[in-house]
Structure formats: C-alpha cells, structure tokens
Amino acid sequence: MKILLAVDGSDCSLVAVDEIARRPWPPGSIVKILSVVESPFLPTSDPWALPAGYYSQLEKAGREQAQTVVSRAETRIRERQGAALEVLIQINEGHTVSEILDEAEAWGTDLIVLGSHGYHGVKRFLLGSVSSAVASHANCSVEIVRCRQAKQSGS
C-alpha cells in the first residue's frame, strides 16, 4: 500500500503523523512524507522596498522548515513502526493542493493522509482548506485526521 502523508509542521499535521505511526499497515506498505514549500507572495507594488535577496531568504527558510518537518515526522514514524513500514521523504515547491494531488497521481498513491485545522466560517474562507480541496479532487482515498485541540478551541 502506498500512503502519501502531507505535513506542514502544524499540531494538526502532527496528529496525522501519529495516526500513521500507531496503525498496523499491510506488509510491504510505504509511506511518503511530503511537505510543500509555497513561494512567498507579498502584495506590494514597490519591489524596491524589499531588501535584495529577500525572496530567496524566505524560500531558503521555507525549505529548511520543510526539511525539519519531514525529518521529525520520519523519526516519529520509524520509532513506532521500525522496519514494518518503509518511509520516504520528499519536499516539493509550489501550490500545496496541486503538489499533493500531482504527487499522489504520479506515485500511484492508494491513500492520502493529512491533518485538518478545523477552520470554519470566515477563517476557512480566508485561509482556504487544503484538506477539503485534496479530498474533493484526489483520484484515491483520502483520510483527513481531525485535530481535536483546534476543534475544541474553535480555531
């Protein structure tokens, strides 16, 4: 079974990692931990107002953060699963939803697993919902792991 685990470093993403780590999976299963670095976009009409190299520094910081996120997820899964589950890591750059869907299609994913922030109303409208978009457009099964802490606090 090929499992694509999309992570972003949030608490809700960590809940999805723990869900993968705790379950028994069929022999020969592989989990690919994917984090997506989105290109920074700052709505400004004055590009000269930003210091030279500003965007490259933001992109570098995003890649470093993504590497930390996937490495931590890999460690958590390996601690619980040992050799029972093969673990791969990958960092892509681009639009999060598109990258998750494209990677799932290209890899022949059987199941996409990701956390949900549980946003509702205005927050969901303004911030969007990666989990909803992935679930709506994926060509394979999708499991959205709820983050109880976010749900209880109304986030």
Residue keyed to tokens 């931590």:
72
- Report the CATH number that the domain containing residue 90 is assigned in CATH: 3.40.50.620
Please list the rounded mean pLDDT of every run of 10 residues in the chain (155 residues).
Answer: 96 94 96 91 61 79 94 97 95 95 98 78 53 92 80 44
Calpha distance 146→155 (Å, rounded): 12
- E strand or H helix that includes residue 79: helix 54-81
Per-residue pLDDT, 102: 97
How confident is the model at residue 48, as a pLDDT?
Answer: 60
Residue 77 within any structural domain of the chain: yes
The verdict on residue 47 lying in a domain is: no
Alpha-carbon distance of 42 to 116, in angstroms, equals: 25
Angle at 110 between CA 104 and CA 114, to 5 degrees: 65
User: In this predicted structure, what is the pLDDT of residue 118?
Assistant: 54
Range of the domain at 106: 2-42+52-153
The total number of structural domains in the chain stands at 1
What is the structure's pLDDT at 154? Answer: 46
Predicted local distance difference test score (pLDDT) of residue 150:
42
Contact 103, 46 (CB under 8 A): no
